[in-house]
Chains A and B, each alone.
Chain A
Amino acid sequence: MDEEIKLIDENGLRVDGRRFDELRPVRIEVGVLKNADGSALIVQGRTKILAAVYGPREIHPKHLSKPDRAVLRCRYHMAPFSVEDRKSPAPSRRETELSKVIREALEPAILLEKFPRTCIDVFVEVLEADGGTRCAGVTAASVALADAGIPMKDLVVGCAAGKVDGVVVVDLCDIEDKYGEVDVPVAYMPNKGLISLLQMDGILTMEEFEKALNLAIDGCKKIYEVQKAALKRKYDFTEKLKREADKSEE
């Protein structure tokens, strides 16, 4: 449709009232599924994603196993009801590509060599899609890996930047992604300072790209704090004891 959609208003605010460098509210919960070895739920604005990890476990078919390390497998999948028009549950080309880039974003953080001849399966299910699903998927998956007790060098955080109505912004929602000019999804390992996922879709000048990359990395650093807090809520026993003590005092 050719009707003009205003993505930045006269005060410089975005469709959902955010400033250019403002993230949507992010909430992460750890260990939300009983069966999985590790799991996490991320809610970022109206994007809602579940990630689950199974493994290290026996690999099937066996010929896929590697003698010196674990095989990481990843499936990014969208629920049929996660988008406006029903999406067929059969994996699309987009989902196949995203499964690959998410796997390659997580792989450098995991000590796969600790578990030869096994596999680690990561499942990312998008329950509600409102932009930034691959990035939120990476964020949730790395928390789920930590929850599964898999040794890692760093957490991996995802956050996109982009350009809408000529302005470089962080963490695009669905409308901004659809009608904006550019989307730059990034995954980042905050302690190592390394980028493990980088894609771009749309025209940017060198200067704009640098700005977008910086915004995305700043976004990753903020979401990293949410990841850590979520893991601490489940695993930091001193904090847990303190919370319980506070409760009994009340």
Chain B
Amino acid sequence: MKNKIPVSINREHVLKLLSKGMRIDGRDLLNYRPISINFEVAGKADGSASVRFGDTYVMVGVKAEIGKPFPDTPGEGVLLVNAEFVPLASPDFEPGPPNEDAIELARVVDRGLRKGEVVDLKELCIVPGEKVWMLWVDIYILDHNGNLMDAAALASLAALMNTKLPEVKVEGEEIIKTGKFKPLNIKDYPIAVTLGKIGGSFIVDPLLDEEQLMDCRLTVITTKSGNICALQKSFSGTFSQGDVLKALNIAVEKGKELRDLLFSSFEKFSSSKA
């Protein structure tokens, strides 16, 4: 049980530093921890990636299955996001079905991917009304040290960028896999940036200790062109209207940084494979 200093004792120290524009790990308020993004980390998955923000470690695997479309969207494939808070990731995680935090995380990541139009679901249709690709995006939290939301969203997008779908042919009733693969067509690159409000200051990429002291947080997901595609306020505090607008501007800026990092990591990975 390391780092188990009671939150209330830490609070004074954290707030005092923040008022001077400093963090407990020496970062500036609006700096991320060192980030690393790795692709193709699970061989059996159709796409996968892992992301580390400092000691936070999240893995995402994408599995593609052929299934039946939803009756109200017969010409579209299906994108499903699920998050598992694996018990090995934190002393606070317990085995069992996803709790409300895991459900919220998965739903916010889902909203970002869907509304950010990462994939055109129409392209995932094989036989309208009958057979479509179902993409399961499974988020696996492996080490929880704060800011799961941003790490999970980034890892999910990275895993989709790395996803290859089997090429299929339709012959009568049957669907035949040709044995070839083609990469998933990625349309946009929405990035989640979570702003934490703590003692009147905004911070990005909170540590677990900071997260427990935050009044509230706002997750802002922005597209490549700098528009907002999803928002989620959580925790029990409040924002003023000015706070919200300030947060959005920071999120657009930080989103750009993370997106550039994602692109350069992906390029490095692609060239290492070539």
Q: Which residues of A contact B (CB under 8 A)?
A: 1-2, 93-94, 96-97, 99-101, 103-104, 107-108, 184, 189, 192-206, 209-210, 213, 217
Could you tell me the distance between the alpha carbons of A108 and B115 in the complex, rounded to whole angstroms? 29
Q: Is there contact, CB below 8 Å, between B231 and A199?
A: yes
Q: Is there contact, CB below 8 Å, between B229 and A108?
A: no
Once A96-B103, A97-B100, A107-B236 are accepted as A-B contacts, the answer to whether A198 and B228 lie under 8 Å apart by CB is no
Q: Closest 4 A-B residue pairs measured CB to CB?
A: A200-B231, A194-B238, A107-B236, A198-B233
Taking CB atoms, residues of chain A closer than 8 Å to B111 are 201
Smallest Cβ-Cβ distance to A194: which chain B residue: B238
Once A97-B103, A104-B236 are accepted as A-B contacts, the answer to whether A195 and B115 lie under 8 Å apart by CB is no
Once A201-B115, A202-B229 are accepted as A-B contacts, the answer to whether A101 and B234 lie under 8 Å apart by CB is yes
Taking CB atoms, residues of chain A closer than 8 Å to B93 are none
Q: Which residues of B contact A (CB under 8 A)?
A: 72, 75, 100, 103-104, 106-107, 111, 115-117, 216, 218, 223, 226-241, 243-245, 248-249, 252
Smallest Cβ-Cβ distance to A210: which chain B residue: B245
Q: Is there contact, CB below 8 Å, between B240 and A194?
A: yes
Q: Which one of A96, A107, A198, A203 has the greatest number of beta carbons of chain B within 10 Å?
A: A203
Taking CB atoms, residues of chain A closer than 8 Å to B230 are 199-202
Taking CB atoms, residues of chain B closer than 8 Å to A1 are 72
Could you tell me the distance between the alpha carbons of A198 and B223 in the complex, rounded to whole angstroms? 19
**Neighbour of A104 across the interface among B227, B231, B234, B244, CB < 8 A:** B234
**Neighbour of B239 across the interface among A100, A194, A202, CB < 8 A:** A194
- With both chains docked as a complex, state the minimum distance between the C-beta of A84 and any C-beta of chain B, in angstroms: 10
Taking CB atoms, residues of chain A closer than 8 Å to B237 are 108, 196
Smallest Cβ-Cβ distance to B122: which chain A residue: A2
Could you tell me the distance between the alpha carbons of A195 and B216 in the complex, rounded to whole angstroms? 11
Q: Is there contact, CB below 8 Å, between B228 and A204?
A: yes
Q: Is there contact, CB below 8 Å, between B234 and A108?
A: no
Taking CB atoms, residues of chain A closer than 8 Å to B218 are 198
Q: Is there contact, CB below 8 Å, between A97 and B115?
A: no
Q: Is there contact, CB below 8 Å, between A200 and B228?
A: yes
Taking CB atoms, residues of chain B closer than 8 Å to A184 are 231
Taking CB atoms, residues of chain A closer than 8 Å to B216 are 104
Q: Is there contact, CB below 8 Å, between B107 and A100?
A: no
Q: Is there contact, CB below 8 Å, between B103 and A93?
A: yes
Smallest Cβ-Cβ distance to B105: which chain A residue: A97
Taking CB atoms, residues of chain A closer than 8 Å to B116 are 203
Could you list some 24 contacts between A and B, CB below 8 A? A1-B72, A96-B104, A97-B100, A100-B100, A100-B104, A100-B234, A101-B232, A194-B239, A195-B233, A195-B240, A196-B233, A197-B233, A198-B231, A198-B239, A199-B231, A200-B232, A201-B111, A201-B115, A203-B227, A203-B228, A204-B227, A205-B227, A206-B227, A217-B241
Q: Is there contact, CB below 8 Å, between B115 and A202?
A: yes
Taking CB atoms, residues of chain A closer than 8 Å to B226 are 206
Q: Is there contact, CB below 8 Å, between A196 and B100?
A: no
Q: Is there contact, CB below 8 Å, between A203 and B223?
A: yes
Could you tell me the distance between the alpha carbons of A97 and B104 in the complex, rounded to whole angstroms? 5
Could you tell me the distance between the alpha carbons of A209 and B235 in the complex, rounded to whole angstroms? 22
- With both chains docked as a complex, state the minimum distance between the C-beta of A135 and any C-beta of chain B, in angstroms: 13
Could you tell me the distance between the alpha carbons of A93 and B234 in the complex, rounded to whole angstroms? 16
Could you tell me the distance between the alpha carbons of A213 and B236 in the complex, rounded to whole angstroms? 20
Could you tell me the distance between the alpha carbons of A144 and B226 in the complex, rounded to whole angstroms? 41
**Neighbour of A195 across the interface among B100, B103, B238, CB < 8 A:** B238
- With both chains docked as a complex, state the minimum distance between the C-beta of B70 and any C-beta of chain A, in angstroms: 12
**Neighbour of A193 across the interface among B117, B233, B241, B245, CB < 8 A:** B241
- With both chains docked as a complex, state the minimum distance between the C-beta of B98 and any C-beta of chain A, in angstroms: 8
Q: Is there contact, CB below 8 Å, between B238 and A2?
A: no
Q: Is there contact, CB below 8 Å, between A209 and B228?
A: yes
Could you tell me the distance between the alpha carbons of A200 and B190 in the complex, rounded to whole angstroms? 14
Taking CB atoms, residues of chain A closer than 8 Å to B100 are 96-97, 99-100
Given contacts A96-B103, A97-B107, 11 further A-B contacts (CB under 8 A): A93-B107, A97-B104, A104-B216, A189-B238, A195-B233, A195-B240, A201-B115, A202-B230, A203-B223, A206-B248, A206-B249
